[in-house]
Amino acid sequence: MALGFSSGDAPGFKLLLILVATYGLMAALVHSVLYMRFIKPLDIDAPLDRFSEARAVEHVRVLAHEIDGRQEGRPGLTEAARYITGQLEMIKERAGSNVRIEIEESVVNGTFNMMFLGHGISLGYRNHTNIVMRISSIHSQDNEPSVLLNGHFDSPLASPGAADCGSCVASMLEIARLMVDSGWVPPRPVIFLFNGAEELFLLGSHGFMKTHQWRETIGAFINVEASGTRGPDLVCQSGPGSWPSQVYVQSAVYPMAHSAAQDVFPVIPGDTDFRIFSQDYGNIPGLDIIFLLGGYFYHTSYDTMERLLPGSMQARGENLVSVIKAFTNSSKLQVKHERESNAYHYDGEHAVFFDYLSLFMIYYTRKVARLLHSIPIAIFLAMPFFSHKQNRGLVSWFSTFCDFTKGMIFHATGIFLAIVFPIIFAILRLLFTSCAMNWFAHPYLAYLMFVPCSLVGMLIPRIIWSSFPLSQDASALKSLKEALSDEARFWGAFGLYAISTLAYLLAGLSGGFLTFSISTSMLPGWISYCLSVKLFGHQSLRSTLFYVLPVLPCLAYSVYFGGFLVQFVVEKLGMMGALPPPYGYFVPDVVMATTVGAVTGLCVGPLIPICGRWLARSSILQVLLHISVLGLALSSQFFPYSVDAPKRILFQHTFLTAGIQASKMIKYNSKMLSF
């Protein structure tokens, strides 16, 4: 395919290069945030009133490397319990006279039913060890409301469990030490639960909630978990009610949370102790905080101390210390019977919240969301009236609204094609090669393969637009017609995001903040664009940049959100295992193509209504297609697995017992994501 360039293509290529450089800088910033480059871990000699990652890592080293296996039935689990108890006893010895510290090692037994992956399970258990420590003021009462910090010290079969969940236990031990050595006396008791049977369907937390004497005093809890070894310690679940997330927003030092995770987590085949405390047996308000990146090593023998990312535990520890202090000082902290009384009730709804590049949090209640998230659709419906006045009778309100609707349809078509094109390219590549999932060990290949063709799909409706004239008088001047086209395209795209925001709201989900932020950021961009056109007297590349600049903060967040999502999906797809032929071979690549296409639409879509006039040229589309084909060809030369991205294999070993004809199967099954 020959490339033909004209003089009119120069501004388009110039804008394309500017956008590539801009998105490259944003991607570098996001990479630094996700990989904790801005957080300096404190060394082992750090002040005693500070959380030190180096001191916590020493606990991980003992639990994951010096102790051989922390699975139920193995001596390592008992040895780990002794180590934890010994560390707590040393902390107790250093406590001041104004602090009371109580340490208990309890053995729990019980039975219960639970639903997991749509199946009912009946469980019976006995002789599981929990270690509990309670830190309180010497003047506190036994029935005072308390805050629970929970983490499990058992690990999955054949895994050292450095991250899952040695890092959790280590963080808790360092926090307990900090509380004592800093001289801080908690205004309400703080309970540390080191439970020894989370990997076996949450048995340890169930035993605590059914048998322990302090269970009814818990007014709030924080569950720390890990399905990876690094990255943002994301708040994946909160509730019941919005109070726990509000406390986190107000107190987290390095906020890493967005309410959209609560929409997605119930769909993921996994579970945590959060369910026991908050839903099934306690109805206690709390937070579920999880390491999500680094899932390559989750539940494998590679989950070692060396895989922990510097800065991740430092951020977790400082966040937990601050959130614990906020919970203990809150007037809403109440014991079980107070929560159940008429004097206290939950609002029953999750709030909307999200962090911006881990710098700060934006939070508002569901009631406020109903108002805010309805504003974009109201603006969209009202704009034809203002447009009608500005065009001085050239168009009626109805014809203008039809033009806006047409713009919405074309923008929605572009987003749809941005997803379809990568899927087609992924399928075509697999038809001619025998190497699937090459992006698993090299995630950048997913962007190289699918982003250019996704942009092609997004720009195609812009080219087709000229074949579908607007409702305005065809005899209008060309410049006026172009202005009306830009207006219809912009407000059509704005309307699509406004409707998406409203749909999220009506569905009762909490992720509408994303499309809401896009639509609201487009407004100052449009005003800036219109003023620049009026100032310069014509539409130019410079006026287009005036549109881009006000939208950049929102685009940076979209890249942050999208980059996290793509990396998360890459790692989780490697845990799926083999799917049935003949179509199972295509599923991971199709899912990856769909994800990258959707993220591209999210990150670039707001620019297309204005930037599309320069980018929607056949020469640019040809270049993008060439890059896509080159990316597909190059990607086939890469092996999908590496030491840092190991392949997961299902082993099945059967023992036959003579006379009973019974079999016992031990599985390392990557299909089950049990946190």
339 vs 206, 216, 219, 503, CA distance in Å?
20, 10, 8, 33
Rounded distance, CA 53 to CA 311, Å?
Answer: 7
Rounded distance, CA 12 to CA 611, Å?
Answer: 9
pTM of the model: 0.90
Beta strands in 240-390 (DSSP E): 286-293, 352-356, 360-364
Supply the pLDDT for residue 453.
Answer: 96
Alpha helices in 265-374, H assignment, sequence order: 274, 312-328, 336-340, 366-372
Rounded distance, CA 241 to CA 351, Å?
Answer: 8
Rounded distance, CA 81 to CA 132, Å?
Answer: 11
- 198: nearest Cα among 130, 284, 290, 148: 130
Asked whether the beta carbons of 313 and 171 are under 8 A apart, the reply is: yes
Topology (CATH) of 53-364: Aminopeptidase (3.40.630)
Supply the pLDDT for residue 208.
Answer: 96
Rounded distance, CA 563 to CA 555, Å?
Answer: 12
Q: Which two tokens stand for residue 11?
A: 């501004």
DSSP label at 648?
P
Supply the pLDDT for residue 555.
Answer: 97
Decide: helix, strand or coil at residue 580.
coil
Task: Specify whether the backbone of 299 is left (phi greater than 0), alpha (psi in -120 to 50) or beta.
Answer: left
Rounded distance, CA 22 to CA 379, Å?
Answer: 30
Question: What residue spans define the domains of the chain?
Answer: 8-34+373-467+476-636, 53-364
Q: Is the dihedral of CA 208, 212, 214, 218 positive or negative?
A: positive
Long-range pairs, 97-100, Cβ under 8 A, ≥24:
97/138, 98/137, 98/138, 98/185, 99/135, 99/136, 99/137, 99/138, 99/180, 99/185, 100/134, 100/135, 100/136, 100/137, 100/138, 100/140
Asked whether the beta carbons of 450 and 599 are under 8 A apart, the reply is: no
Low-confidence residues of the chain: pLDDT under 50: 1, 343-344, 389, 394-395, 472-483, 660-675
Supply the pLDDT for residue 535.
Answer: 83
- Name the helix (H) or strand (E) containing 427: helix 397-432
Rounded distance, CA 518 to CA 608, Å?
Answer: 13
- 281: nearest Cα among 393, 428, 114, 403: 114
Query: What's the length of the chain?
Result: 675
Rounded distance, CA 46 to CA 52, Å?
Answer: 6
Supply the pLDDT for residue 287.
Answer: 96
DSSP label at 70?
-
Asked whether the beta carbons of 87 and 59 are under 8 A apart, the reply is: yes
Rounded distance, CA 669 to CA 655, Å?
Answer: 18
DSSP label at 241?
S
**Average of per-residue pLDDT values in the chain:** 88
Asked whether the beta carbons of 18 and 290 are under 8 A apart, the reply is: no
Provide φ and ψ at 359, rounded to 5°.
-95, -45
Rounded distance, CA 342 to CA 348, Å?
Answer: 15
Asked whether the beta carbons of 295 and 568 are under 8 A apart, the reply is: yes
Question: Looking up tokens 């019941």, which residue turns up?
Answer: 240
Asked whether the beta carbons of 59 and 170 are under 8 A apart, the reply is: yes
Decide: helix, strand or coil at residue 222.
strand
Going by C-beta distance under 8 Å and a sequence separation of 6 or more, which residues neighbour residue 14? 541
- Spell out a b/e string for 426-457, using b for 16 or more CB atoms within 10 Å of the CB, else e: beebbeeeeebbbbbbbbebbbbbbbbbbbbb
- Spacing of C-alpha 578 from chain mean position: 25
